[in-house]
Structure 1
Amino acid sequence: MKKQLYIGILIIAAILPVSCTKNFDRFNTNPNELTDSLLKYDYKYVGAFIPGMLTSLYSTVDWQYQLQQNLNADLYSGFMGIPTPFNSGKNNSNYFMMDWNNWPFKVAFDNVMSGWKLVKDRGEKTRPDLYAVATIIKVASMHRVTDVFGPIPYSKFGSGGFSTPYDSQESIYKAFFAELDQSIQSLTTFDKTNPAGKAQLKPFDLLFGGEYGDWIRFANSLKLRLAMRISFVNETLAKQQAEAAVNNEYGVITDNKKSAMVRSGSGVTVSNSLYVISQEYNDIRMGASMESFLKGYNDPRLSAYFRASGMPGGGFRGIRNGIDIKAKPDYEKFSSLNIERSTPIRVLAASETYFLRAEGAVRGWNMKGDAKALYEEGIRTSFAQYDLGDAGNYLNDAASKPAAYTDPVNALNNVAANAPYLSTITIRWQDADNFETKLERIITQKWISLYPDGEEAWAEFRRTGYPKLFPVVVNYSGGSIPGFINRLPFPPDEYKNNKDEVTKAAALLNGADNGGTRLWWGRP
């Protein structure tokens, strides 16, 4: 019955526009997150909205997450592939864009932005610490939304009326930096003057257990991520923000124990939606590009990330995106994700900050370390996250390269060893390499370490062009996406409920409202 209900919901989502209110300031948070154990605490009038915001960064409702991210960014990142021929085989994976893209927008606005607005209205003056935390969560969520669509409603959110104007992505990023700076300053003051403050945040904090210092480090790390995102379009601002983040007195996340991971706590049970989609729905599998890199590098993270396939001979098998799938059983036995229902949900891990700093060091920025040392520490930290032992042999490997790919079901999907889009980048750092080679090496290892966060991996691929991923085999975009997809078109519900403003927003894109138009920060 559960499977039938899921299929029914997915069919409805694929065919009909999902209802969406016009008034952003009337959005409601998920009432299921306001548990009895939370409501008994003091400050619940402000803090009780924070858990719902955190569990909507990556929706813990499995079918919502599937539409929010799994059937777009997780595929486009190269991390994953689908065995299921949704819509008779024409769907997002091969650039036949479905109406699923209401959900990356809807989950964030319904749950995160609405929760932030309630915290702002109730606690901006009386509980500046909780307001600062909510603002950091807002930026963590909404940068993902703007990185999917480009312009979005932001600065005028919650101002009333029946329509909400869109902001350009450039102005949104500048707002992000200002909001993070203000939140860091506010929390720094609070952390130093309220030694007992942890007890007031802890009941609502599924990320850091109430540790304000960890929230400051997370905000700095987020600022570093966003600074690097704009490095090709505004390097002056990027350098300024990145150096400020790294050299802040609290610094950035450098320890796996301090990584930003959403976990169960305070009466809220966090369920990792990828487990359900992979193990129960059997709708997602390892991607072919991921197989190529991990097998070619003899990378021990292969078995940490994925489960052996049920194909003859076993082993690990990935599905190439954008292929012609006739029937689900053809690919269903390929490698599923090695994720449990209780696996914490990754938001920003320590390994990422090392790779960000390594790139900054290559650019000549003050990143408190040289590029080689930071690059290697990023790999070590990723290995340590999965208890994979010493990374010394891996770091010294100057010969291994990504492997050719063979599809045991359909040879038309194979990638030969001499294919122009098969990467030849090796692992060991070489100081004599030029900027482009160093960038590819950093981003390739960063990409591997980012798994399973397809949202961030897809963004970095669009920003840098790395790692080299396999293009789609079948392209149903009708010519609107000539290469790799750059964005999702604005949600159909916006054209229904916010038509005038979303129509104006199309003019901010510097291109058509389709998947082929490059985002503002995309590499020229």
Structure 2
Amino acid sequence: MKRSYKILSFALLTTVAAATYSCTGNFEEINTNPTKLTELDESGTENAYAAAQYRSIFAAWQTYQSLFADLQGQYFANVAQGFSSDRNVMVGNWLNGAWNDFYGTAIPALLGVLENTGPGGKYENPGKFAMANIWKVYMYLPRTDYWGPIPYSKVGSGEASVPYDSQEFIYKDFITTLKASTATLETLKGTKVFGSVDQIYAGDVNKWILFANTLRLRIAMRMSEAEPALAKTEAESAAAAGTLATNADDAFLKVTPNSFNPMNQATAWNEFRMSAAMESVLKGYSDPRISKYYAPVPGTTNTFKGLRNGYTQGELGQPINAASATSNVADAFLPAVQGTNPFAIMYASEAYFLKAEGALKGWNMGTGTAKDFYEKGIEIAMKQWGIADAAAITAYINGTTPPVALADFVKSPALTDVPVKFSTVPAKQLEQIITQKWLANYPNGHEAWAEYRRTGYPKLYARINSDNPDSPKDAVVRRTPYVDSEKQTNQAAVTEAISLLGGPDNSATRLWWDKP
């Protein structure tokens, strides 16, 4: 990874975070070691932690999440006629920017924190070191789930060419890191670490322990087909240690008018709208969250309209598929509130759906059955979006209507035949659990895409068209190929990474955890 990293100037995160993706006015060159930060004082180290939190979310959000994961997970469909990623095109310059922004702005900030707060560091602090390591796992997880083997353990070592680690190594190190970090934080329960500099939990150690355990449960479930014995052990351990339980535990990244929500910013560009998959499910289930997620078609009061993924430029030019004829995001995701709408990191409802799947596998997830955890997950998810009426939630949980067919451009059939009411058939139960987790995790496209690859659920629509011969319209995009900047400057490491990948460097090769 031969590059000169650039980092945020850490005077104040809220001063510098207003920089756009292409602006470099608020960045500074690193010293003579191209993989390390300039000298940071103690205050600078804390601001570097805040920068690592924000930059790992903000960095190339549009070209990294919105134009890839959100479309592959089918929360949204593309309406920008000049864009092709919704037709499975792996747009190189977009992915290149996503890679370079992550390794060039988010990771250097994190490295500064780990170096200064770790053993022997200038400001050695076990609690800060533990929290930074938990965030490190969160930062790296979607990146390895995009590419597979990536630079990980040797980043920041000072080597001119940084080798890639296998995804198996990375996932197992995630587990080790989270366990070590929570063990440290257990000794600090009831205290604050980083304080207000931590933009998620304001330094609340107890909350970070729950977050880390839930993240470990997510990781264990993801690797459940690749390493079933280890996954079971770690999932049971994480569940027993305590996971996110109520919406008071939900993890949101706080924003300001300067360090704003990147999704809210992007909605101004009219690039995406509600997907047909979401329309079919939300309407079929009479899901009250439909108006929390999306807006009615302009000029109507209660008409919600999605569109299929993968339309050609000509098909997108049809009036029925126009942005003005389909549902945009709800008001909470519009630019007007980009400085106040916090960015969702992880919801407590996910913990219950993970436990429901674990119980379905026969794992010990604590007191409750798969059905119990499933229904609790729905309840928590509804309340998270402001739907508190107990009778309405109970009626939804017992709903027997399936998703609906659509009156769209291609007359799409119903997405699936499963209702909300928990089935007595195990195969249907798994589909229901993942479908409800998909609904609850909105708008986290990274998780939606990863879980779809892992489980095949929810049963998303095939694309109308694909311009990628490696991933035809009825195929699943399994990963994103390595970026050109790495092939040009770090070719030997990329070649080794492809051998670790175990298949061609294309969108059809499965990741380590993605088993047929």
What range describes the TM-score normalised by the shorter chain of this pair? 0.7 to 0.9
Residue 37 of structure 1 deviates from its aligned partner by 12
Q: Secondary structure at the match of 2:344?
A: strand
Instruction: Find the counterpart in structure 1 of residue 197 from structure 2.
Output: 204
> 1:49–1:119: 8 Å Cα contact kept in structure 2?
yes
Instruction: Find the counterpart in structure 2 of residue 114 from structure 1.
Output: 108
Instruction: Find the counterpart in structure 1 of residue 494 from structure 2.
Output: 502
Residue 55 of structure 1 deviates from its aligned partner by 1.2
Q: Secondary structure at the match of 1:387?
A: coil
Instruction: Find the counterpart in structure 1 of residue 308 from structure 2.
Output: 320
TM-score of the pair, normalised by structure 2: 0.87
Distance 1:297 1:325 in 2: 32
Q: Secondary structure at the match of 1:104?
A: helix
Amino acid at match of 1:272: N
Residue 461 of structure 1 deviates from its aligned partner by 0.5
Amino acid at match of 1:28: I
> 1:33–1:51: 8 Å Cα contact kept in structure 2?
no
Q: Secondary structure at the match of 1:52?
A: helix
Instruction: Find the counterpart in structure 2 of residue 404 from structure 1.
Output: 405
Distance 2:301 2:312 in 1: 24
Distance 2:212 2:67 in 1: 28
Residue 484 of structure 1 deviates from its aligned partner by 1.5
Instruction: Find the counterpart in structure 1 of residue 265 from structure 2.
Output: 276
Q: CA, structure 1 residues 314+188, in 2 after alignment: closer, same or farther (shift >3 Å)?
A: closer
Instruction: Find the counterpart in structure 2 of residue 291 from structure 1.
Output: 279
Percent identical among aligned pairs is 35
Deviations 1:501-521 (A, max 9, x none): 112211122221111111111
Distance 2:43 2:349 in 1: 34
> 2:7–2:106: 8 Å Cα contact kept in structure 1?
no
Q: CA, structure 1 residues 118+358, in 2 after alignment: closer, same or farther (shift >3 Å)?
A: same
TM-score of the pair, normalised by structure 1: 0.86
Instruction: Find the counterpart in structure 1 of residue 181 from structure 2.
Output: 183
Q: Secondary structure at the match of 2:187?
A: helix
Instruction: Find the counterpart in structure 1 of residue 238 from structure 2.
Output: 245
> 2:353–2:377: 8 Å Cα contact kept in structure 1?
yes
Aligned counterpart for 1:171 among listed residues 139, 150, 169: 169
Q: CA, structure 1 residues 314+357, in 2 after alignment: closer, same or farther (shift >3 Å)?
A: closer
Distance 1:185 1:27 in 2: 33
Q: Secondary structure at the match of 2:469?
A: coil
Instruction: Find the counterpart in structure 1 of residue 72 from structure 2.
Output: 76
Residue 201 of structure 1 deviates from its aligned partner by 1.4
> 1:288–1:318: 8 Å Cα contact kept in structure 2?
yes
Q: Secondary structure at the match of 2:345?
A: strand
Amino acid at match of 1:401: P
Instruction: Find the counterpart in structure 2 of residue 395 from structure 1.
Output: 397
> 1:27–1:109: 8 Å Cα contact kept in structure 2?
no
Deviations 1:263-322 (A, max 9, x none): 137xx85422222222x2111211111111101111101011100112778611112111
Distance 1:32 1:319 in 2: 45
Amino acid at match of 2:480: L
Residue 203 of structure 1 deviates from its aligned partner by 2.6
Instruction: Find the counterpart in structure 2 of residue 18 from structure 1.
Output: none
Q: Please list, as runs of the form range in 1=range in 2, the aligned pairs for 1:74-473 lying within 5 A after superposition.
A: 74-87=70-83, 91-99=84-92, 100-125=94-119, 126-191=124-189, 197-198=191-192, 201-248=194-241, 251-264=242-255, 269-278=258-267, 280-310=268-298, 315-326=303-314, 330-333=321-324, 334-338=326-330, 339=333, 340-341=337-338, 342-368=340-366, 369-388=368-387, 389-390=389-390, 391-398=393-400, 400-407=401-408, 411=409, 413-417=410-414, 422-430=415-423, 432-434=424-426, 436-473=427-464
- Answering whether residue 6 of structure 2 is matched by residue 22 of structure 1, we say no
Amino acid at match of 1:73: A
Distance 2:514 2:132 in 1: 28
Q: CA, structure 1 residues 160+136, in 2 after alignment: closer, same or farther (shift >3 Å)?
A: same
Instruction: Find the counterpart in structure 1 of residue 45 from structure 2.
Output: 46
Which ranges of structure 1 fall in alignment gaps of 5 or more residues?
Answer: 1-20
Distance 1:497 1:514 in 2: 19
Measured on the aligned residues, the alpha-carbon RMSD in Å equals 2.3
Q: Secondary structure at the match of 2:499?
A: helix
Q: CA, structure 1 residues 151+33, in 2 after alignment: closer, same or farther (shift >3 Å)?
A: farther
> 2:167–2:512: 8 Å Cα contact kept in structure 1?
yes
Instruction: Find the counterpart in structure 1 of residue 28 from structure 2.
Output: none
Amino acid at match of 2:80: T
> 1:372–1:429: 8 Å Cα contact kept in structure 2?
yes
Deviations 1:389-411 (A, max 9, x none): 2210011112x11111232xxx3
Q: Secondary structure at the match of 1:208?
A: coil
Distance 1:377 1:314 in 2: 28
Distance 2:378 2:483 in 1: 38
Distance 2:232 2:7 in 1: 38
Residue 32 of structure 1 deviates from its aligned partner by 7.2
Instruction: Find the counterpart in structure 2 of residue 478 from structure 1.
Output: 469
Distance 1:32 1:292 in 2: 48
Amino acid at match of 2:159: G
Amino acid at match of 2:501: L
Amino acid at match of 1:394: Y
Residue 96 of structure 1 deviates from its aligned partner by 2.1
Distance 1:35 1:454 in 2: 26
Distance 1:296 1:495 in 2: 46
> 1:112–1:138: 8 Å Cα contact kept in structure 2?
no
Amino acid at match of 2:129: Y
Q: Secondary structure at the match of 2:435?
A: helix
Deviations 1:183-207 (A, max 9, x none): 111111233xxx6x42x51131100
Amino acid at match of 2:200: L
Distance 1:310 1:30 in 2: 42
Q: CA, structure 1 residues 366+313, in 2 after alignment: closer, same or farther (shift >3 Å)?
A: closer
**Worse-matched range after superposition: 110-119 or 493-502:** 110-119
Residue 522 of structure 1 deviates from its aligned partner by 1.0
Distance 1:232 1:352 in 2: 19
Q: CA, structure 1 residues 124+396, in 2 after alignment: closer, same or farther (shift >3 Å)?
A: same
> 2:75–2:277: 8 Å Cα contact kept in structure 1?
yes
Give the paired residue count.
474
Distance 1:313 1:353 in 2: 35
Q: CA, structure 1 residues 480+107, in 2 after alignment: closer, same or farther (shift >3 Å)?
A: same
